Chain A
Amino acid sequence: MNALLRRIGAMTIDGLWRLGFMARFFFALLRYSGQSFRRLPLTIREIYFSGVLSLLIILVSGLFVGLVLGLQGYDILQRFGSSDALGIMVALSLLRELGPVVAGLLFASRAGSAVTAEIGLMKTTEQLQAMDMMAVNPIARVVAPRFWGGVISMPLLAAMFSAMGIFGGWLIGVVAIGVDDGAFWSQMRASVDFRYDIVNGTIKSFVFGVAVSLIAVFEGYDCQPTAEGVSRAITRTVVSSALVILALDFVLTSFMFRGL
């Protein structure tokens, strides 16, 4: 029993220590972020690696999610004679929830893990140390551009995921099942509110982008400089990002969409 309590205590202290270290790391990252914007090509390069190279998985996943939403949505709505509202259901599901959340999860597994692996391997092969010895701050030169590249990419990817999902819903609902095309689009346009639905969804994806990018760069920078250490860091990035996205989604939703 004592051993169990000791272990729980040690894990709690370790967790708090890591959280504190992560907060300090985040402030250092913000402090040294100037270079990411003064030397824009560094950040644009990371937007390419994190954003552009994630496009395929995001677009394909968005299409399939939209197709499934079209099928399920039609099946439910036609029971109540509301199949014309399919456009609204697909759009709101994607813009408010599925777009930011699923794109965030995909972004964490595709780009987040890659960033962690890259920074972790740079640490393992002493590249970060070499940079530091050349009087170049690795947080400013390596970490910050990757962080901001992720933060900028994530809302754009979520928007493309949602757009592709709506297209998928239209394909199933209008082209395959025969829902009225005019009703599909007009009801969507009438019911989707720019500030309430689109802006809130974008805020969500931005917050997820900050969370996933921070976890990814931190885990890479903090990993044990061994093959096993990098592997563990990548796993932690994917698992922590998934949990943080889902937890943050609940918190943000409870503030944004209370329906009051």
Chain B
Amino acid sequence: MTPASGNPLVRLNRVRFAYGEREILHDVDLTVHRGQVVAIMGGSGSGKTTLLRLIGGQLRADAGTVEVDGQDMGHLSVSALYALRRRMGMLFQFGALFTDMNVFDNVAFPLREHTALPAELIRDLVLMKLHAVGLRGAAALMPSELSGGMARRVALARAVALDPMLMLYDEPFAGLDPISLGTIGHLIRRLNDALGAASIMVTHDVQASLDLVDYVYFVSEGGIVAHGTPAEIRASDDPFVHQFVHAEADGPVPFHYPAPPLASLLDEVPT
């Protein structure tokens, strides 16, 4: 089932990925179209960050295809991958700002690396990007002087510096207070719409995500177990979706990590 019509910007087809013997993802199908904000949700260790890394070309699938803008990520040379990444932006969980540069230089970094624009124009562009995230006044601050939410916003300004066609967000709401969380969520939606880009976010935060995304994929035990629009997800009676949306401790995602019965272990204790 495709969530929208037209040629998808990102398409995963029967993707499998394993670290050695340990299978992380299997038979994953996923599509994302331009203009969409898509959330990938799932428990810790379910493989959703791996999915994001496959889309970003940091990992290569063992089987199946990962296509971004029609290009198969599994068969790109390093230079072709870098050319594609110049049209992508990624927001890391804790911002990943360069700690030896101030806010201005962090945002200017991709512009200086990939364009030959004059310094005055770079300055104007950086200030515009910082203005868009509400931190123009913080341009001279160092990353150590920023709060978690501010660092995330600066990282967002840096990620959109080159006006990407695809934005990837790794846990954009982790560890944020409600105000910062709302600000980041609002910015993700607004920047996506302004750029005409597609956005994929890996997140645990169900309520914040359902309010802003167009489509949701649920990942569990390495596979897509449910997907749909936020309205469909809220109305879903799928046990996994229900457990996740209502934050229930036990259900299809078990409370206990797999282990032999406790009684059998107690028997082993010497008397």
The answer to whether B99 has its CB under 8 Å from any CB of chain A is yes
Q: How does the 8 Å CB contact mask read for A118-132 relative to B, with 1 for contact and 0 for none?
A: 000110011101111
B59-95: which have CB < 8 Å to A?
A: 81-83, 85-86, 88, 90, 92-94
**Alpha-carbon separation in the docked complex, A131 to B114 (Å):** 12
- Known contacts being A134-B110, A136-B113, is A129 close to B92, with CB within 8 Å? yes
- A-B complex: 4 closest residue pairs judged by Cβ atoms: A130-B96, A135-B82, A126-B96, A135-B85
Is there an interface contact between B99 and A133, defined as CB atoms closer than 8 Å?
no
Cross-chain contact of B96 among A129, A136, A137, A141 (Cβ < 8 A): A129
CB distance from B18 to the nearest CB of A (A): 20
Contact of A127 among B85, B90, B96 (CB under 8 A): B96
B56 interfacial by beta-carbon distance below 8 Å: yes
Bound Cα distance from A126 to B90, whole angstroms: 12
What are the residues of chain B within 8 A of A133 when measuring CB–CB? 56, 58, 85, 88, 90, 168
Main secondary structure of the interface of A (DSSP, over half): helix
A134 and B98 contact, CB distance less than 8 A: no
Task: Please give, as numbers and ranges, the residues of chain A lying within 8 Å of B109 by CB-CB distance.
Answer: 134, 136
Given A133-B56, A133-B58, A125 and B82 touching (CB < 8 A)?
no
- In the complex, chain A residues whose CB is within 8 Å of the CB of B90: 130, 133-134
Q: How far is the CA of A122 from the CA of B100 in the complex (A)?
A: 10
Given A134-B110, A135-B114, A136-B113, do A126 and B85 touch, yes or no (CB 8 Å)? no
Known interface pairs A133-B58, A134-B109. Does A125 touch B85 (Cβ–Cβ under 8 Å)? Answer: no
Q: Considering only CB atoms and an 8 Å cut-off, how many residues of chain B contact the other chain?
A: 22
Cβ distance A43 to chain B, nearest Cβ, rounded Å: 15
List residues of chain B with CB within 8 A of the CB of A141: 113
Of B58, B85, B96, B109, the most chain A CB neighbours within 10 A belong to: B96
CA distance A228 to B90 in the complex (A): 27
Q: Which of B80-135 contact A (CB under 8 A)?
A: 81-83, 85-86, 88, 90, 92-94, 96-99, 109-110, 113-114
Q: By CB atoms of chain B within 10 A, which of A121, A126, A141 has the most?
A: A126
Bound-state CA distance A125–B97 (Å) is 8
Query: Closest CB-CB distance, B213 to chain A, in whole Å?
Result: 21
B141 to chain A, nearest CB (A): 17
**By the criterion CB–CB under 8 Å, are B113 and A134 in contact?**
yes
* Assembled-state Cα–Cα distance A125/B96 (Å): 6
The CA-CA distance from A179 to B98 in the complex, in Å, is: 56
Q: Determine the residue in chain A with the shortest Cβ distance to B98.
A: A127
Task: Report Cα–Cα, A141/B168, bound state, in Å.
Answer: 23
- Give chain A interface residues in 125-157, CB to chain B under 8 Å: 125-127, 129-137, 141
Residues of A within 8 A of B97 (CB): 127
Whether B86 pairs with A135 at a CB distance below 8 angstroms is yes
Q: Which residues of A contact B85 (CB under 8 A)?
A: 133-135
CA–CA, A31 and B85, complex, Å: 21
Provide the residues of chain B in CB contact with A131, threshold 8 Å.
Answer: 98
Cα separation A132 to B82 with both chains bound (whole Å): 8
Q: Given A134-B109, A135-B82, A129–B58 Cβ distance below 8 Å?
A: yes
Q: In angstroms, how far is the closest chain B Cβ from the Cβ of A57?
A: 22
Further contacts, 13 of them, CB under 8 A, given A133-B58, A134-B113, A135-B113: A125-B99, A126-B92, A127-B96, A127-B97, A130-B90, A133-B85, A133-B88, A133-B168, A134-B86, A134-B90, A135-B81, A135-B85, A136-B109
